[in-house]
Amino acid sequence: MITINIDPIAFSVGALNVRWYGMMYVVGISAAFFTAWPYAKWKGFTEDQLEKIVIWAVPAGLVGARLYYVLQQPLGQYFTDPFRILAFWEGGMAWYGAVFAVVIVLFIAGWRMKISILKLLDVAAIMAVVGQFFGRIGNLINGDVIGYQTNLPWGVVYANPNSFAARHDVAYQPAAAYEAIIDILLFGMLWFLRKKVKPGILFFIYIIGYSVSQIIVFTWRDNDVIFMGLKQAQLTAIGVIIAAMIIFMAVFIRQKRMKRST
């Protein structure tokens, strides 16, 4: 078995606890920004455009991820202590919430700045998969994205008493590690194709790839079954795949018609 015995609280400043999870978000956003920046410039975006978009997209993504997670939880605890609704540094972020929020921001930004929304989405795909990877490291330290108990040799024991794992003396399926590996594979695919495909294809590959990974990984995640043997994230993933395919086909048909008319 693999043992992780890292205190999720990196350090404290007075009453404020600074968690590794929150720090990984800072690292992930920074790494995503610097990784995608050259690609965005190659796509034709200016520094001024990118800075304005990032200023709005990053907070929207964090708030969206947290709110989507909160909506899936018993809400009584948040009515009692409303401040915890935005306590994203504690853990508890639903990535689809970030995706939905950022896509809305990108559509608004593209429309207002009169720039290609499809190209923006491609840049966002690169940023998303890089940021996700570092977020999963935070999950591993937190012990808040775990699977069922297991006897597999790569099962993880979250030994630190401050870990979010239900028990600290048994091994769990390392769901966060599975997702981190998927992020690496997705990044490799996107990076290889980034200059080889038409605008919008990169984002389509990302969102479909990520959604398929959620359907697979959540078979090992210790979450409640909601409908027909499926969990909340799996149902969301299926809905996103269907919606993405419909939108992609609509865009593809529209572009084909525009080419014929010119």
| Mean pLDDT lowest among 89-98, 106-115, 185-194 | 89-98
- pLDDT digits 0-9 by tens, 206-238: 999 999 999 999 999 877 888 888 888 899 899
Both tokens of 192, joined, read 């290889």
Helix or strand holding residue 19 (H, E): strand 16-19
> What does the pLDDT read at residue 75?
67
- pLDDT digits 0-9 by tens, 131-154: 999 999 999 999 888 899 999 999
pTM for this entry: 0.87
Helix or strand holding residue 70 (H, E): helix 47-71
* pLDDT over threshold 70, residue 88: no
Question: Cα(215)–Cα(208) distance, rounded to whole angstroms?
Answer: 11
> What does the pLDDT read at residue 261?
67
Cβ 40 vs Cβ 50: under 8 Å: yes
Taking residue 235's Cβ as centre, other Cβ atoms within 10 Å add up to 16
Which whole-number Å values give the CA distances from 228 to 7, 118, 224, 231, in the listed order?
38, 35, 12, 9
Give the CB-side neighbour count of residue 153, counting CA atoms within 13 A.
Answer: 0
- The fraction of the chain above a pLDDT of 90, given in percent, is 49
DSSP 29: H
> What does the pLDDT read at residue 126?
95
